[in-house]
Amino acid sequence: MSSRSIAIVGLLATASLAALAAPDDRPGAPAIAWRQHDIQRPKPPVVEPADVPIASRPPADAVILFDGQSLDAWKADRGGPARWKIVDGTLQTVPGAGRIETRREFGDIQLHVEWSAPSPPHGKGQDRGNSGVFLMGEFEVQVLDSYRAETYADGQAGAIYGQYPPLSNPARPPGEWQTYDIAFRRPRFDEGGRLIEPARITVFFNGILVQNAEPPFGRTSWLEWEPYQGRKGVRGPIALQDHDHPVRYRNIWLRELPERMDPSPADLARPKVVALTPATLDRYAGRYRHSTKSDSPPAIIARDGDHLTLRLPSRPRAFRLEPISETEFDMPHTDGRFTFRVDASGKVTGVRFQIADGDREWTRIGR
Ligand code: MG
């Protein structure tokens, strides 16, 4: 082949690759992403996990989903009771019995799951100890026998299935108990059902961080992920996948996570700022030192227009102190207050610095 025809073949190959990399116009699609289940996608490195004991008791506020005794928390996702088996205190997938899911629905959670792949191992690739933990019924954290067993990177144990391979592969051998500790933040939608914040999934697999607050593009699925479906007040069940393999589970519990509270206007109310003359403000300017730590570097208070500034030796930025009375100053962004001490002659001798529940006295050591 001539060098010219080699160049043309090269061009054609480049053109066909460009055609494959067409932009993904599904809502939530990242600008650049691997194609799903790409066998060329790099596999995460194998990491032998630390040999840490598994906690024998869940935290006091946990919702127990499986404690070895009953399947009461679960149902078949097609309806009716869950038809998986309890064997020696473990929950065993019954091939063909279908996926099971919790009767209750959950939003933001911390979830603990222990699982064990069938031993001796059987099959290969995705046909080897496959199950899965579905968050909100939609986002699968893959369960698979990934111990010395290969499959596509976004389908191995600890993957957010079809989207994010785990960062490491800390799988234990089949038959051994393995742990998933998952932090899940549900997606947020606006009133019109439009996605305003994707879900977030963090996974520790056998104590090793394998998913670090990753945002799923949409619900996980085989072949192609699916875009988010806008819903209000989203919650969903925890589900366990029946993939025709007798994977075992035990010690399944979760903690429901509260919403962070925004402050109300009353919470943000602060004393009214008053106007003091420059002369009044100037008399507070000077160097102050912790009253009982004589070797500590001084804090410096200065006037800046209608307020004071505080420079602490260890902080790069000056803090703003706003007058709320003749002798008291408030920090606008911090629950902090400064009350200056003034002696009978009108000389400023020190200041009390209150921050939240802490209280410290500074002595004025000079201008
Ligand atoms: Mg699976």
Q: Is the dihedral of CA 273, 279, 280, 285 positive or negative?
A: positive
**What pLDDT shows up at residue 233?**
65
On the question of a cis peptide bond just before residue 95, with omega within 30 degrees of 0, the verdict is no
Mean pLDDT computed over 227-252: 90
Q: Give the mean pLDDT of the chain.
A: 92
Q: Give pLDDT tens digits for 135-155.
A: 999 999 999 999 999 999 999
**Ligand 1 centroid to residue 61 C-alpha, Å:** 29
The residue ranking higher by pLDDT, 367 or 75, is 75
**What pLDDT shows up at residue 56?**
77
Asked: is 278-366 a CATH 2.40.50.140 domain? The reply is no
Mean pLDDT computed over 245-253: 96
**Ligand 1 centroid to residue 129 C-alpha, Å:** 9
Q: Which of 41-55, 107-121, 175-189 has the lowest mean pLDDT?
A: 41-55
**Ligand 1 centroid to residue 164 C-alpha, Å:** 14
**What pLDDT shows up at residue 232?**
63
Mean pLDDT computed over 348-367: 94
Is the model's pLDDT at 10 over the cut of 80?
no
Is the model's pLDDT at 14 over the cut of 70?
no
Query: Which letter does DSSP use for residue 4 in this model?
Result: H
Report how many helices (DSSP H) and strands (DSSP E) the chain contains, helices first.
3, 25
**What pLDDT shows up at residue 24?**
82
Is the model's pLDDT at 5 over the cut of 80?
no
**Ligand 1 centroid to residue 290 C-alpha, Å:** 61
Confidence of residue 19 (pLDDT cuts 50, 70, 90): low
Within the chain, which residue ranges are assigned CATH 2.40.128.50?
A: 278-366
**What pLDDT shows up at residue 1?**
46
Is the model's pLDDT at 364 over the cut of 90?
yes
**Ligand 1 centroid to residue 212 C-alpha, Å:** 20
SS3 of 235-273: the string is CECCEECCCCCCCEEEEEEEEECCCCCCCCHHHHCCCCC
Residues, Cβ < 5 Å to ion ligand 1: 130, 132, 241
CB atoms within 10 A of CB 293: 10
**Ligand 1 centroid to residue 357 C-alpha, Å:** 50
**Ligand 1 centroid to residue 119 C-alpha, Å:** 18
Is the model's pLDDT at 207 over the cut of 60?
yes
Within the chain, which residue ranges are assigned CATH 2.60.120.560?
A: 19-256
Question: Could you write out the DSSP letters of every residue in 160-202?
Answer: BTTTB--SSB-PPPTTS-EEEEEEEE--EE-TTS-EEE--EEE
- Selecting from 3.40.50.720, 3.50.30.30, 2.40.110.10, 2.60.120.560, what CATH number does the domain 19-256 have? 2.60.120.560
Question: What share of the chain in percent tops pLDDT 70?
Answer: 93
**What pLDDT shows up at residue 6?**
47
**What pLDDT shows up at residue 31?**
83
**What pLDDT shows up at residue 277?**
97
Cα–Cα distances in Å, from 119 out to 58, 66, 127, 128, 248? Answer: 27, 22, 14, 10, 11
**What pLDDT shows up at residue 32?**
81
Mean pLDDT computed over 274-297: 94
**Ligand 1 centroid to residue 59 C-alpha, Å:** 28
Q: Give pLDDT tens digits for 53-82.
A: 777 789 999 999 999 999 999 999 988 999
**What pLDDT shows up at residue 361?**
95
Token pair recorded at residue 319: 């803090």
**Ligand 1 centroid to residue 161 C-alpha, Å:** 7
**What pLDDT shows up at residue 22?**
65
**Ligand 1 centroid to residue 237 C-alpha, Å:** 16
Is the model's pLDDT at 15 over the cut of 60?
no
**What pLDDT shows up at residue 261?**
92
